[in-house]
């Protein structure tokens, strides 16, 4: 029996989010998770505005 709100899907999503938050690039996450393209991956990985600003400021 699975507790309400917990599933293999939510665990998988959390895993991908943690990888991304810890600096793993999207190409590597795509390879690890077996996604065929970035379109299917993008619904799992959210990019917040601070991360975008940080990338621009790094230039």
Inform me whether the pLDDT recorded for 2 exceeds 70: no
pTM: 0.70
Residue-wise pLDDT tens digits, 19-59: 998 989 999 999 999 999 989 888 888 888 888 898 899 99
pLDDT computed for residue 46 by the predictor: 81
Closest CA to 44 of 12, 13, 23, 15: 13
pLDDT computed for residue 41 by the predictor: 87
Closest CA to 25 of 59, 51, 57, 56: 51
Task: Catalogue the long-range contacts made by 10-14 (C-beta closer than 8 Å, 24 or more residues apart).
Answer: 12/44, 13/44
């Amino acid at each position: 029996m699975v507790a309400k709100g917990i599933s293999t899907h939510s665990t998988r999503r959390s895993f991908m989010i943690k990888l991304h938050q810890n600096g793993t690039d999207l190409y590597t996450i795509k390879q690890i998770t077996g996604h065929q393209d970035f379109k299917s991956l993008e619904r799992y990985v959210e990019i917040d505005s601070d991360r975008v600003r940080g990338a621009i400021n790094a230039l």
